[in-house]
């Protein structure tokens, strides 16, 4: 058997088991050993004490998708872990590790044909005063993956604030226990390179700061909260301001107010919050106030499955605004792209004086990964401002559609930013001619946008195209990396304004288009059909959240066409 390019392990348990802590340390250990890695998580609805699973993939190559199945499912206990069965697919060659003290693994896991090996986690931990079973499990997993013991210890030293020595001892015991278990034979790590260990939400937050954001209005909502929590101290360090709002109606309007004051502004939310913000995004369009909203999408409608991912806010983000309201929608298509895409969105918002929505999702936002250090762009984009003077016209009909914006404090250029239709001076007007002229101006700004190569990730060549966006890109990339001959990947990053000419060029010669998305109704397919001409035969591969696509499913769908 060849050495594996990646191994996938899941560590499950109920409240108090510490599976997330152990999972994070395993990721740190893998990083220390020179591997790439990814950790996603799933949990029950309880705030404390609920069942949870840390899902890790440790690999010799970068990526943020999940594999087709887990090589190992380890459980500290089995209480309600069966609820996650759909998220924890196993194969006949998989290994189930469980503490015999916690009973047999549920049938939903064993029916996969996976082999069960009992490991005395609790008993082993009990031999060391102050040690926990999760540290034993961590040692076992590190051992069967073949991570160096030094990496395990380094990870523990980095992460543990208390119980360090017993923790390390327990992990070492587990590591020794692994010698009796089948090894996973992970290939040696790739050559060392600059890497970051970061979540998508942190990456988006950092991208916002790089883009120049210095004001953030925050209303907590899963799974966007961590983005805001990252920004609270980070903003303070760079002299910015975060205000906790009373609701999302307030947070978007606070962001608009701060931006009107000349300070690049952002808020982050999820679907329900985005719905509340939509009216004021229309105001941002009409009054031409730059603002960025990061929507970390979760399953909807309504509260849906608040902790899990889905790409179902696409329609709202693109078409939810009232009136004709040209704006920007950007979708990061990898964990690390959350940084670049958000930074880019801030730049677009500032340059075009328009609201921009960043469509991230729970999968990308809450995934923590070891990624190649992102290539960091140049200085933040500056807004076109006015210096004042006679006859200042805030909404002047410039050829580019962007007109100099006076920042409060500038003498001789006072104006009223207004959601009412207005003339060039900013004075409210109900004249058809003013409405038409201002609509044209607002559309012109976006129509003239030249996104360059950034509009999409176009990879590979072939007469079949796999067209997707966002977090579906990871598994799509992996499917094509396995066997992508004759298939071209087009992952859109700029969803609005649509780029029909660019997609047309990218799809030249393509005979079949497979549209991949994670929602029930095919929102992305409908968007593509509305905004673009898709060549040849078009098929849709979609399903709602929360289960992420796995590469084999995509390979299978392509194989049915005989392309891969």
Partner 1 sequence: MGQRVNAPGAPMLAPKDFKSDYKPVWCPGCGDYSVLSAITKALAMLALKPENVAVVSGIGCSSRIPAYTTCYGFHGVHGRALPVATGLKAARPDLTVLVASGDGDGYSIGGNHFLHACRRNLDLTYIVMDNHVYGMTKGQPSPTTEPDWSSKLAPGGTGLREFHPLVIALASGANFIARAYSGDPNGCAALIAEAVRHPGFSFVEVLSPCVTFRPEQREWKTMVHPAPVAATDDPGRAARRLMTDDGFNVGVLYKGKRPAYARANGGNQTVEALACQFRA
Residue 545: CB minimum distance to partner 1, A: 27
Largest CA distance in the chain: 84
Q: Alpha-carbon dihedral of residues 361, 363, 369, 372, nearest 10 degrees?
A: -50
Instruction: For 548, list phi and psi in degrees, rounded to 5.
Output: -75, 155
Residues 150-209 contacting partner 1, CB under 8 A: 194-198, 202, 206, 209
Judged by CB under 8 A, which of 137, 235, 318, 496 binds partner 1? Answer: 235
End-to-end C-alpha distance for the chain, whole angstroms: 24
What 94-103 contacts at long range (C-beta under 8 Å, 24+ apart), as own/partner pairs, is 94/69, 94/70, 95/71, 95/144, 95/181, 95/182, 96/72, 97/72, 97/73, 97/137, 97/140, 97/181, 98/74, 99/75, 99/133, 102/75, 102/76, 102/77, 102/78, 103/78
- The bridge status of strand 265-269 relative to strand 215-218 is parallel
Contact with partner 1 (CB under 8 A): which of 236, 447, 530, 559?
236
> How far apart are alpha carbons 23 and 17 in whole angstroms?
11
Return the number of other C-beta atoms located less than 10 Å from residue 82's C-beta: 16
Which x/- pattern over 496-525 shows residues binding partner 1 (rule: CB under 8 A)?
------------------------------
Residues whose CB falls within 8 Å of the CB of residue 76, separated by 6 or more in sequence, listed in order: 11, 12, 13, 14, 17, 18, 19, 99, 102, 121, 133, 134, 137
CB of 372 to partner 1, least distance (A): 10
Closer residue to partner 1, CB minimum distance, 91 or 234: 234
- Residue 441 Cβ vs partner 1, minimum distance, rounded to whole Å: 19
Of 265 and 316, CB closest to partner 1: 265
Residues 312-351 that bind partner 1 (CB under 8 A): none
Smallest gap, in angstroms, from Cβ of residue 373 to partner 1? 7
Is residue 480 within 8 A of residue 460, CB to CB? The reply is yes
Which CB, 417 or 456, lies closer to partner 1? 417
- Asked if 58 contacts 186 with a C-beta cutoff of 8 angstroms, the reply is yes
490 strand-pairing partners: 458, 467
CB of 463 to partner 1, least distance (A): 40
Q: CB-based contacts of 158: which residues, under 8 Å, 6+ apart?
A: 28
Please list every residue from 390 through 429 that binds partner 1, using CB under 8 A: 406, 408-420, 426-428
Give residues 427-486 in contact with partner 1 (rule: CB under 8 A): 427-428
User: Does residue 460 contact residue 489 with C-beta atoms inside 8 Å?
Assistant: yes
Write the binding mask 274 to 303 for partner 1: x where contact by CB under 8 A, - elsewhere.
-----xx-xx---x----------------
**Does residue 74 sit in helix, strand or coil?**
strand
- How many Å apart are CA 98 and CA 491, to the nearest integer? 40
Please say which residue, 85 or 234, places its beta carbon nearer to partner 1: 234
Q: Which residues pair with 167 in a beta bridge?
A: none
* Residues comprising the chain, all counted: 564
Q: Which of 88, 217, 513, 534 binds partner 1 (CB under 8 A)?
A: 217
Least distance (Å) from partner 1 to the CB of residue 482?
26
- Nearest approach, Cβ of 316 to partner 1 (angstroms)? 18
Nearer to partner 1, 224 or 339 (CB): 339
Minimum distance, C-beta of residue 415 to partner 1, in the bound complex (Å): 7
Q: Which residues, 21 to 40, sit near partner 1 by CB under 8 A?
A: 31
Residue whose CB is less far from partner 1, 279 or 553? 279
CA nearest neighbour of 272 among 298, 253, 294, 246 = 298
Residue 442 falls in which region: left (phi positive, over 0), alpha (psi -120 to 50) or beta: alpha
Token pair belonging to 99 = 């503490």
Cα(54)–Cα(134) distance, integer angstroms: 12
Q: How many residues bind partner 1 (CB under 8 A)?
A: 67
* Closest separation in Å from C-beta 250 to partner 1: 4
Is residue 84 within the footprint of partner 1 (CB under 8 A)? no
Nearer to partner 1, 146 or 211 (CB): 211
CB 419 → partner 1: shortest distance, Å? 6
Q: Which is nearer to partner 1, 199 or 491 (CB)?
A: 199
Of 235 and 456, the one with the shorter C-beta distance to partner 1 is 235
Contacting partner 1 within 239-278 (CB under 8 A):
239-241, 243, 245-247, 249-263, 265
CB proximity list for 228: less than 8 A, separation 6 or greater:
205, 216, 218, 220, 242, 268
Which residue's CB is nearer to partner 1, number 70 or number 215? Answer: 215
CB nearer to partner 1: pick between 346 and 466: 346
CB of 360 to partner 1, least distance (A): 17
Tokens describing residue 459: 């990879």
User: Considering the complex, what minimum distance in angstroms separates the CB of residue 527 from partner 1?
Assistant: 27
Residues in contact with partner 1, shown as a per-residue x/- string from 348 to 387 under the rule CB under 8 A: ----------------------x--x--x-----------
Closest CB to partner 1 among residues 251, 333: 251
Q: Which is nearer to partner 1, 93 or 376 (CB)?
A: 376
Pairing state between β 456-459 and 487-492? antiparallel
Positions that interact with partner 1 (CB under 8 A):
31, 194-198, 202, 206, 209-210, 214-215, 217, 234-241, 243, 245-247, 249-263, 265, 279-280, 282-283, 287, 370, 373, 376, 388, 406, 408-420, 426-428
């Amino acid at each position: 058997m060849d050495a594996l390019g990646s191994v996938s392990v899941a560590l499950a348990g109920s409240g108090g088991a510490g599976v997330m802590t152990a999972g994070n340390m395993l990721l740190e250990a893998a990083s220390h050993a020179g591997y790439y890695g990814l950790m996603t998580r799933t949990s029950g609805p309880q705030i404390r004490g609920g069942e949870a699973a840390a899902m890790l993939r440790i690999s010799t190559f970068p990526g943020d998708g999940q594999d087709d199945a887990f090589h190992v499912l380890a459980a500290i206990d089995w209480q309600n872990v069966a609820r996650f069965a759909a998220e924890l697919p196993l194969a006949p060659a998989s290994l189930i590790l469980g503490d015999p003290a916690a009973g047999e693994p549920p049938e939903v896991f064993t029916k996969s044909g996976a082999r069960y090996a009992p490991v005395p986690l609790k008993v082993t931990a009990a031999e060391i005063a102050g040690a926990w079973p999760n540290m034993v499990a961590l040692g076992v997993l590190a051992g069967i993956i073949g991570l160096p013991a030094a990496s395990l210890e380094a990870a523990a030293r980095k992460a543990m604030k208390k119980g360090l020595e017993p923790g390390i001892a327990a992990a070492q015991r587990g590591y020794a226990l692994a010698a009796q278990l089948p090894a996973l034979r992970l290939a040696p790590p790739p050559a060392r390179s600059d890497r970051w260990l970061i979540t998508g939400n942190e990456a988006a937050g950092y991208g916002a700061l790089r883009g120049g954001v210095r004001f953030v209005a925050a209303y907590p909502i899963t799974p966007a909260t961590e983005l805001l929590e990252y920004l609270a101290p980070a903003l303070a360090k760079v002299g910015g301001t975060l205000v906790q709002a009373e609701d999302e109606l307030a947070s978007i309007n606070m962001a608009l107010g701060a931006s009107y004051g000349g300070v690049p502004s952002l808020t982050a939310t999820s679907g329900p919050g985005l719905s509340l913000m939509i009216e004021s995004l229309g105001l941002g369009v009409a009054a031409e106030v730059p603002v960025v909203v990061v929507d970390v999408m979760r399953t909807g409608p309504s509260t849906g499955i608040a902790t899990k991912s889905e790409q179902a806010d696409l329609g709202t983000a693109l078409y939810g605004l009232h009136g004709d309201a040209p704006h920007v929608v950007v979708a990061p298509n990898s964990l690390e792209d959350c940084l670049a895409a958000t930074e880019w969105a801030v730049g677009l918002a500032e340059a075009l004086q328009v609201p921009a929505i960043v469509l991230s999702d729970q999968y990308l936002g809450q995934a923590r990964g070891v990624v190649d250090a992102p290539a960091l762009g140049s200085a933040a984009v500056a807004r076109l401002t006015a210096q004042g003077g006679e006859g200042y016209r805030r909404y002047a009909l410039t050829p580019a559609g962007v007109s100099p914006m006076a920042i409060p404090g500038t003498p001789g250029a006072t104006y009223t930013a207004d959601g009412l239709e207005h003339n060039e001076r900013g004075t409210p007007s109900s004249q058809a001619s003013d409405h038409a002229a201002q609509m044209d101006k607002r559309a012109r700004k976006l129509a003239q946008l030249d996104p360059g190569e950034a509009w999409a990730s176009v990879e590979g060549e072939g007469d079949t195209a796999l067209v997707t966006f966002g977090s579906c890109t990871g598994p799509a990339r992996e499917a094509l990396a396995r066997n992508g001959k004759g298939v071209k990947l087009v992952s859109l990053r700029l969803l609005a304004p649509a780029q029909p000419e660019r997609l047309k060029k990218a799809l030249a010669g393509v005979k079949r288009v497979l549209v991949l998305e994670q929602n029930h109704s095919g929102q992305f397919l409908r968007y593509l059909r509305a905004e673009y001409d898709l060549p040849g035969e078009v098929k849709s591969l979609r399903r709602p959240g929360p289960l992420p696509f796995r590469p084999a499913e995509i390979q299978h769908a392509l194989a049915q066409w005989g392309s891969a």
